[in-house]
A and B are shown apart, each in its own frame.
Chain A
Amino acid sequence: AQKITQTQPGMFVQEKEAVTLDCTYDTSDPSYGLFWYKQPSSGEMIFLIYQGSYDQQNATEGRYSLNFQKARKSANLVISASQLGDSAMYFCAMRGHVNTGNQFYFGTGTSLTVIP
């Protein structure tokens, strides 16, 4: 069974500080993809970053980086130099390959609040 777990319902971070949002996953697929999305209070889903299971290096996109630890089955999102506009819900997601085709599985999300 495919499963994504986000254990932090809510997080607070001081503006300009870095923050790590946790995500662990479980899959039987030998090949898979890991994603992070941002959902502001306005409701839209915004793609942030992608990591393939065979990628040797951790993915980075601007202030976002994905700390991928395959043996531990974790894919934590690191946001550096937090900004007030980073306050939002953040969802971790996984896409399988062989066993689950092209289906995506989402975690329950972490609410991030950036404090001025």
Chain B
Amino acid sequence: NAGVTQTPKFRILKIGQSMTLQCTQDMNHNYMYWYRQDPGMGLKLIYYSVGAGITDKGEVPNGYNVSRSTTEDFPLRLELAAPSQTSVYFCASRRTSVPTDTQYFGPGTRLTVL
């Protein structure tokens, strides 16, 4: 199994440009999440989805959009990139099977906005 895959691994954007970060999971998990990790900090939740067609905002959704048309894919869209969006972005899917609860993370996308 590939688990959770993210593309691209690295990207440099100019201010005002837009891009889509791709995330795919092959574990048939309903829950998926997007986080950002700023240097020296923990992860902050941007958006999440509890199933195809259902998304909701997390702590820091401004400047981002998501969609979930299939169980496997959960792309994150950055519109009008700003330097404050320079960060490492992690996608995760979540397996909830009592008694455990586990998130599986992708390898991350390192984004720099100049």
Contacts and interface: CB of A to CB of B under 8 A. Distances in A.
Chain B associates with chain A:
yes
Range for the number of chain A residues in contact with chain B: 20 to 34
Given A101-B56, A102-B50, A103-B58, A47 B45 contact: no
B2 interface: no
Interface of A: 4, 33, 35, 37, 43-47, 50, 52, 55, 91, 93, 95, 101-109
Contacts of A105: 45, 59
Nearest to B102: A47
Given A43-B108, A102-B31, A103-B58, A52 B42 contact: no
B104 A47 contact: yes
Interface in B66-109: 88, 90, 92, 94, 99-105, 107-108
Contact of B48 (A37, A43, A102, A107): A102
Secondary structure at the A interface, as helix, strand, loop or mixed, is strand
Given A43-B88, A55-B99, A104 B105 contact: no
A93 B39 CA distance: 18
B41 interface: yes
A35 B101 CA distance: 9
24 contacts: A4-B42, A43-B107, A43-B108, A44-B107, A45-B92, A45-B105, A47-B104, A47-B105, A95-B101, A101-B56, A102-B31, A102-B48, A102-B50, A102-B94, A103-B45, A104-B33, A104-B35, A104-B43, A104-B103, A105-B59, A106-B42, A106-B43, A108-B41, A109-B41
Nearest to A111: B40
B109 to A, nearest CB: 11
A113 to B, nearest CB: 16
A91 B37 CA distance: 12
Contacts of A46: 105
Contact of B108 (A4, A44, A102, A103): A44
B101 A52 contact: yes
A52 B99 contact: yes
A91 B43 contact: yes
Contacts of A109: 41-42
A50 B100 contact: yes
Contacts of A4: 42
